[in-house]
């Protein structure tokens, strides 16, 4: 629902975990015009996704824009500024399952596809809801963030019969803060990823925190989160 909650760093690290810990053929698709995931995983200074919207428009085969990353089994479908009008583009296309069809095609090549999505509920999120098997909603521990996660759940129940499954989680947790501790106590079963300077270095390291700080508390929490995600996806597949 909102920016600044660590969606990109979480998406990159979960994709890394899928590829390295589960040995899955993994694609990270960056749908955010800011291109944070593209910057982290791509080669600095290298154009990875000029006119990324052409993939959505079906003017170009997605395979032509996919690049290998430095992580074995992890590929990237990058973003660029052309995605700034993604909501308007999906609205113009008037095809409610465009993204789903693209994902079905990509699924012939990949075991896991992780989307790094822009914030908000609009035409893009509608496309995502129709196309994915699981939605993760990272929130910073606060009353307003809990409310935002509740709005996503209510929206799914009202418009999509509660599907796909929703996995809310706390991100950027600072247990020194009384508000964070109190909010975690309200939802003790939610996964919680601690705030860490190691995570903030991802843009400089051009890698997931799991790659260069695997023993950090954040890396351990993300690895545990991936186990939860993988188990849920495997149950759905069975």
* pLDDT tens, the chain, 238 aa long: 667 789 999 999 999 999 999 999 999 999 999 999 999 998 544 555 557 888 988 877 888 889 999 999 999 999 998 898 888 888 888 777 889 999 999 999 999 999 999 888 888 999 999 999 999 999 999 888 888 888 889 999 999 998 999 999 999 999 999 999 999 998 999 999 999 999 999 999 999 999 999 999 999 999 999 999 999 999 988 7
- The pLDDT assigned to 90 comes to 87
Residue 37 contacts residue 7 (beta carbons within 8 Å):
no
Residue 221 contacts residue 196 (beta carbons within 8 Å):
no
- The pLDDT assigned to 1 comes to 65
Structural domains in the chain, CATH included, are 7-228 (3.40.50.300)
Question: What six digits make up the tokens of 38?
Answer: 């593209």
- The pLDDT assigned to 45 comes to 47
Classify burial at 159, counting beta carbons within 10 Å of its beta carbon; exposed 0-12, middle 13-18, buried 19 or more: exposed
Largest pairwise CA distance in the chain:
51
Is the full-model pTM beyond 0.95?
no
Residue 133 contacts residue 164 (beta carbons within 8 Å):
yes
């Amino acid at each position: 629902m909102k920016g600044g909650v660590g969606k990109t760093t979480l998406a990159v690290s979960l994709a890394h975990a899928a590829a390295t810990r589960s040995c899955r053929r993994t694609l990270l698709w960056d749908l955010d015009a800011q291109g944070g995931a593209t910057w982290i995983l791509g080669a600095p200074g290298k154009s990875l996704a000029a006119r990324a919207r052409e993939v959505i428009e079906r003017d170009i085969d997605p395979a032509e824009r996919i690049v290998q990353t430095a992580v074995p089994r992890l590929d990237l479908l990058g973003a660029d500024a052309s995605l700034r009008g993604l909501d308007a583009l999906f609205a113009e296309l008037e095809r409610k399952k465009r993204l789903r069809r693209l994902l079905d095609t990509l699924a012939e090549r990949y075991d896991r596809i992780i989307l790094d999505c822009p914030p908000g509920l609009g035409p893009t999120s509608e496309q995502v809801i129709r196309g994915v098997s699981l939605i993760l909603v990272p929130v910073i521990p606060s009353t307003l963030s809990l409310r935002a996660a509740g709005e996503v759940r209510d929206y799914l129940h009202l418009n999509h019969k509660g599907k796909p499954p929703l996995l809310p989680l706390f991100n950027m947790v600072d247990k020194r803060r009384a508000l964070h501790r109190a909010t975690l106590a309200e939802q003790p079963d939610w996964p919680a990823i601690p705030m860490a300077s190691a995570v903030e270095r991802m843009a400089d390291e051009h890698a997931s925190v799991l790659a260069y700080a695997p023993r950090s508390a954040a890396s351990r929490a993300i690895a545990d989160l991936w186990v939860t995600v993988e188990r849920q996806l495997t149950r759905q597949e069975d």
